[in-house]
Amino acid sequence: MLRQLLPVFALLFGSGLLLFAGGMHGLILPVRGSIEGFSASALGLLGTGWAIGYVAGCLIAPRLVGMVGHIRTFGVMCAMAAAAVLLQALIVEAWAWIPVRAVSGFCFAGAAMIVESWLNDRAQPRTRGAIFGIYTMVNLVSVTAGQMAISLGDASGFLFFAIAAIVYCLALVPTALSTSASPAPLTSVRLDLRALWRNSPVAVMAVFLVGISNASFGTLAAVYADAVGLALTAIALFASIPVLAGAMAQIPIGMASDRMDRRKVLVATAVVALAADVAFVLLVPEGRIVNLVLVGAFGAAIFAMYPIIVAHANDHAPPGTSIQVSGGLLMVFGLGSIIGPLVAGIAMTELGPRGLFLTTIAAHVLMIAFTVWRISVKSAVPEDRKSPFQISVPARAATPETAALSGGQTEAEPLEMPTQAPQADSPAPRQDAPESTGGHGEPWDRPEPPVSDDR
């Protein structure tokens, strides 16, 4: 296995540097913003700006790569990300940070897509799973290390901005020195809400609400922790523990969702998140231990929801459309990520720290109510038509290329969401049909499988 991983070691190392800088950058902004007295609304807009830039990067990066190539585009993305960090260190004003944060999101998305495209191109079918697993582990460890590094120095100065900029620049070295040929064009998607909704209403509604809750927490967790009086090390833990807990929780939750109706597993996971929400709102705990225990349970629930939703949507999609489905859901998640931090920031400004978890309560209650209703009117997909659950990187670090790398296809190709609707004279769906509103796979053409002698 080591011999098989050596060709992609440089790419994994570059990805680790990229995620380390991203983790440090993402946490130093709310921490420094709180020190400078920025309002929660302004800090929430940092998350909104990031999400806008990230979604734009996922949509535009494939075109840039098509024009100038992978290496040049990656170099531009890393250089612009480094410049954005330094600009925020020089101009410590909320009005300047918000649009610059959008630039960071755009660059980070483009750089991550290029790394994943390169890994996807180098992966062989028999090593793809191992490479994706290691890539996921590298992401989690790097983000956590970047966040925890904040506790080692003074967050009120220039230090961590400079370190993040340096590491962004170092991240381009492995690809810049690569002598291998550029991979295939990046995977691109076009958002088609109607097709996604026909495929699975639960997936669309749930992933939108997960975008609201997860982006709200991801942006404002440090602001909440600072507001309740946690020290800098505890603030870093408050932001890092949920991501790690969510990664570990994906294994048992994924196994459960493979054995029963995924919607019920989603509801149970949302109930756990809701219980943590309510505990934060009612208790507003100030102690370090209580906060970290509660946020660990909260993170285990909210960061395990996204892969359940993607797996559920793929259960209802016809063969060969997993990347279209996953890419479309990622765009819907991005829309929720734009709204969530803005709403949560306003809520925290008006209601204090508990406004963050009042926002996530609303998202989780709506998710539970809608999913329970869908369970009552549509039966679960048959077991023999389920797609396997796949452990996923955190949704805010996912791109359309992530689905390709995880095994969706062996060669990245430009893809668009199909828009074929059911024929007007097609029979109405049965009441006991699978959860998809038009019957299993109706939003897409579903060709008959080829007949072969060894079938």
Question: For the chain, how long is the longest CA-to-CA vector?
Answer: 71
* Span 304-313, average pLDDT: 92
Residue 407's pLDDT is 62
User: pLDDT band at 7, cuts 50/70/90?
Assistant: low
Residue 449's pLDDT is 36
* Span 300-314, average pLDDT: 93
The burial class, CB within 10 Å (0-12 / 13-18 / 19+), for 246 is buried
Whether the predicted pLDDT of 282 surpasses 60 = yes
Q: What is the pLDDT of residues 213-244, one digit of tens each?
A: 999 999 999 999 999 999 999 999 999 999 99
Cα(29)–Cα(46) distance, integer angstroms: 8
CB atoms within 10 A of CB 446: 15
Complete DSSP assignment for 319-346: TT-HHHHHHHHHHHHHHHHHHHHHHHHH
Cα(353)–Cα(212) distance, integer angstroms: 17
Going by the DSSP 8-state scheme, the letter that residue 151 receives in this structure is G
Residue 84's pLDDT is 97
Count the helix, strand and coil residues of the chain and give each as a percent rounded to the nearest 5: 75, 0, 25
Cα(195)–Cα(183) distance, integer angstroms: 30
All domains of the chain, ordered by start, with CATH?
Answer: 10-408 (1.20.1250.20)
- For 75-228, list the strands marked E by DSSP: none
Q: What is the pLDDT of residues 11-64, one digit of tens each?
A: 888 889 999 999 999 999 999 999 999 999 999 999 999 999 999 999 999 999
* Span 181-210, average pLDDT: 85
Among 60-74, 265-279, 398-412, 413-427, whose mean pLDDT is lowest? 413-427
| Helix residue ranges per DSSP H, 123-153 | 128-148
Whether the predicted pLDDT of 397 surpasses 80 = no
Residue 402's pLDDT is 82
Among 203-217, 255-269, 320-334, 385-399, whose mean pLDDT is lowest? 385-399
Residue 445's pLDDT is 40
Cα(193)–Cα(234) distance, integer angstroms: 40
Average pLDDT for the chain: 85
- For 374-435, list the strands marked E by DSSP: none
Cα(394)–Cα(26) distance, integer angstroms: 14
Residue 413's pLDDT is 38
Among 6-15, 175-184, 439-448, whose mean pLDDT is lowest? 439-448
Residue 454's pLDDT is 30
User: pLDDT band at 392, cuts 50/70/90?
Assistant: confident
Whether the predicted pLDDT of 142 surpasses 80 = yes
User: pLDDT band at 432, cuts 50/70/90?
Assistant: very low
Residue 4's pLDDT is 58
Tell me which of 188 and 227 has the higher pLDDT: 227
Tell me which of 116 and 202 has the higher pLDDT: 202
Residue 383's pLDDT is 73
Asked if 398 and 330 count as a contact pair (C-beta separation under 8 A), the reply is yes
Asked if 345 and 42 count as a contact pair (C-beta separation under 8 A), the reply is yes
Using a pLDDT cut of 70, give the percent of the chain over it.
86
Among 160-164, 288-292, 362-366, 380-384, whose mean pLDDT is lowest? 380-384
Residue 81's pLDDT is 96
Asked if 70 and 118 count as a contact pair (C-beta separation under 8 A), the reply is yes
Tell me which of 454 and 266 has the higher pLDDT: 266
User: pLDDT band at 433, cuts 50/70/90?
Assistant: very low
Whether the predicted pLDDT of 447 surpasses 90 = no
Cα(194)–Cα(305) distance, integer angstroms: 22
Cα(140)–Cα(16) distance, integer angstroms: 9
Question: What is the pTM for the complete model shown?
Answer: 0.86
Q: What is the pLDDT of residues 337-369, one digit of tens each?
A: 999 999 999 999 999 999 999 999 999 999 999
Tokens of 108: 């980070």
Tokens of 221: 């967790």
Using a pLDDT cut of 90, give the percent of the chain over it.
59
Going by C-alpha positions, the residue among 377, 199, 197, 371 that lies closest to residue 268 is: 371
Whether the predicted pLDDT of 324 surpasses 90 = no
Among 72-81, 139-148, 161-170, 406-415, whose mean pLDDT is lowest? 406-415
